[in-house]
């Protein structure tokens, strides 16, 4: 069936449709969003287990259930956003009404006191993940409307990725900061919750005020599960989602074993994990502008394929790093940092291009659905990573609880499952990227046809 909806009318000639203040405002929203996403999976489980006393098995079950629900609900949220029609646009109302709900969920989740039970965690965690999905989808969809050109989109999503990496640094720096500010009575998790709430309010307000939405034209919008599956099955869309899943799994499996690899295999203290992660993130921040520059001179999919091959080489190199050397492991993580920014930046810019192809072929603008699919693919990779990694460790006989008792064979197995699967996944993703069908030349033809059709429809309106 079909329903009447709206479609964005991009600026003619594929130029940017947004100002620098709008892009800056949209990018800054990534700081609190990323600052929230990491504690949700790193700090909150530990806080509810050690401080609030919930059983580990119950916490694990709740997190798994919520993530499955989260992955299923994202496409529905995207479809609802695409069908929204208001005087404020399609995505801005979701930001305005979603932000207060998310801030309330963060308060309840991060400020919980002893005595709360599993149902409390289930409700607040579901609300927090749902709010994060709403704001993240709105951010990505608004970004796709800031520019319609092939190269301009690389710059837009590079700005968003840089701000997201800054959010990671904020999260990682807070344990250090809270330790130095010992006079603060709040627990680190509670302090982090307040920081997220304080940053979220002005960030969303700036986006609602400064980020424009493109002019809309009436259209027939396709809905239904069959139509959704037909969108997913499109060669460009499916390829981007598969690349995102493979790269997410590659980094996710290695990240799940990073503490064991750094401490047991390389003989470093646990505190070294934070140092090497910061080395990776800072390198990624430095290289994001370089990736965007390369994407403007080469096809985006080709640059993405190169970074996939580079990440595979670095994965193998980890096995040969000398033991007891923080510098060596940091350099290895910096090598991964060269690709980390590209793995997030380029697929999001490529999905905007795939949305143009979809709109030209079908007349249907499903920007929200496309980005919901992309978010879901990365989430699925993260959800599978821990289970697959720990299953692999069990197969090689490594025992995380008995690091000093592991045999040399088990330590060797740890290194193999840390490096090997990631390298294979990165190479598979690189192969899919190199053979990606929507090239720069093909997109230029699509943009000319879209701009001509939008101009004709605008004249008839």
C-alpha 52/C-alpha 54 separation (Å) is 6
| Nearest alpha-carbon partner for 219 in 442, 2, 390, 447 | 2
7, 217 Cβ separation under 8 angstroms: yes
* Tokens encoding 296: 């403007």
**Which DSSP letter does residue 298 get?**
S
Over 90: is that where the pLDDT of 306 sits? yes
Burial class (CB in 10 A: 0-12, 13-18, 19+), 337: buried
| Nearest alpha-carbon partner for 383 in 74, 94, 30 | 74
C-alpha 184/C-alpha 306 separation (Å) is 47
C-alpha 375/C-alpha 429 separation (Å) is 17
Helix (H, G, I), strand (E, B) or coil at 216: strand
How is the chain split among helix, strand and coil, in percent rounded to 5?
Answer: 80, 5, 15
Q: What is the mean pLDDT of residues 303-315?
A: 95
Q: What is the mean pLDDT of residues 319-335?
A: 92
Q: What is the mean pLDDT of residues 130-147?
A: 84
* Span 154-194, pLDDT tens digits: 888 888 888 888 887 877 776 666 666 665 566 777 878 88
C-alpha 54/C-alpha 113 separation (Å) is 12
| pLDDT at site 11 | 37
Query: Which of these ranges, 125-134, 184-193, 232-241, 363-372, has the smallest mean pLDDT?
Result: 184-193
| pLDDT at site 457 | 66
- Domains of the chain (ranges; CATH) run 19-216 (1.20.1250.20), 225-461 (1.20.1250.20)
| pLDDT at site 184 | 58
Q: What is the mean pLDDT of residues 146-161?
A: 80
Helix (H, G, I), strand (E, B) or coil at 396: coil
* Span 45-104, pLDDT tens digits: 767 877 888 886 788 788 778 877 888 888 888 878 877 777 777 888 888 888 999 999
Task: Indicate the pLDDT class of residue 218, thresholds 50, 70 and 90.
Answer: very low
pTM across the whole model: 0.78
What is the 3-class SS of 234-295, one letter each residue? Answer: CHHHHHHHHHHHHHHHHHHHHHHCHHHHHHHHCCCCCCHHHHHHHHHHHHHHHHHHHHHHHH
Over 60: is that where the pLDDT of 428 sits? yes
| pLDDT at site 230 | 80
* Span 247-304, pLDDT tens digits: 988 888 888 788 788 888 898 887 788 788 888 888 988 998 899 899 888 899 999 9
| Nearest alpha-carbon partner for 346 in 214, 151, 138 | 151
* Span 98-130, pLDDT tens digits: 899 999 999 999 998 888 889 999 999 999 989
* Tokens encoding 251: 């980094």
Q: Residue 438 CB: number of other CB atoms within 10 A?
A: 23
C-alpha 307/C-alpha 85 separation (Å) is 39
Most confident listed range (12-21, 158-167, 421-430)? 421-430
Which residues make Cβ contacts (< 8 Å) with residue 101, sequence separation at least 6? 127, 131
């Amino acid at each position: 069936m079909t329903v009447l909806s709206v479609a964005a009318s991009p600026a003619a000639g594929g130029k940017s449709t947004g100002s620098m203040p709008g892009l800056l405002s949209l990018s800054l929203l990534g700081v609190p969003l990323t600052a929230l996403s990491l504690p949700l999976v790193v700090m909150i489980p530990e806080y509810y287990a050690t401080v609030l006393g919930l059983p580990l098995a119950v916490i694990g079950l709740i997190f798994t259930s919520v993530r499955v629900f989260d992955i299923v609900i994202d496409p529905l949220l995207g479809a609802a956003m695409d069908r929204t029609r208001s005087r404020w646009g399609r995505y801005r109302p979701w930001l305005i009404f979603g932000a207060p709900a998310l801030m309330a969920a963060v308060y309840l989740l991060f400020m919980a006191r002893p005595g709360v039970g599993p149902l409390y965690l289930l409700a607040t965690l579901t609300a927090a993940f749902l709010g994060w999905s709403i704001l993240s989808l709105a951010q990505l969809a608004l970004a796709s409307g800031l520019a319609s050109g092939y190269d301009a989109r690389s710059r837009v999503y590079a700005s968003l990725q840089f701000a997201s990496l800054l959010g990671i640094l904020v999260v990682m720096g807070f344990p250090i900061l809270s330790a130095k500010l010992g006079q603060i009575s709040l627990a680190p998790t509670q302090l982090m919750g307040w920081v997220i709430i304080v940053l979220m309010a002005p960030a969303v307000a700036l986006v609602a005020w400064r980020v424009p939405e493109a002019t809309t034209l009436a259209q027939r919008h396709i809905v239904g599960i069959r139509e959704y599956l037909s969108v997913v099955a499109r060669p460009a869309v499916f390829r981007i989602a598969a690349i995102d899943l493979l790269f997410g799994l590659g980094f996710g499996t290695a990240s799940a074993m990073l503490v064991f690899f750094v401490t047991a295999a390389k003989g470093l203290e646990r505190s070294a994990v934070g140092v090497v992660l910061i080395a990776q993130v800072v390198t990624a921040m430095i290289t994001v502008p370089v990736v965007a520059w390369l994407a403007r001179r080469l096809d985006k999919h080709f640059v993405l394929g190169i970074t996939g091959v580079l990440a595979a080489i670095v994965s193998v190199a980890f096995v040969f790093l000398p033991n007891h050397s923080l510098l060596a492991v940091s350099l290895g993580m910096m090598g991964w940092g060269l690709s980390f920014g590209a793995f997030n930046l380029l697929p999001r810019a490529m999905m905007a291009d795939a949305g143009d192809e979809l709109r030209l072929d079908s007349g249907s603008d499903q920007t929200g659905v496309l980005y919901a699919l992309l978010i879901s693919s990365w989430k699925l990779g993260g959800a599978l990573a821990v289970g697959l990694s720990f299953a692999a460790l069990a197969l090689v006989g490594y025992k995380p609880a008995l690091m000093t008792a592991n045999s040399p064979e088990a330590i060797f197995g740890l290194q193999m499952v840390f490096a090997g699967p990631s390298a294979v996944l990165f190479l598979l993703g690189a192969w899919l990227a190199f053979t990606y069908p929507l090239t720069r030349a093909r997109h230029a033809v699509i943009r000319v046809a879209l701009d001509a059709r939008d101009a004709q429809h605008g004249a008839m309106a």
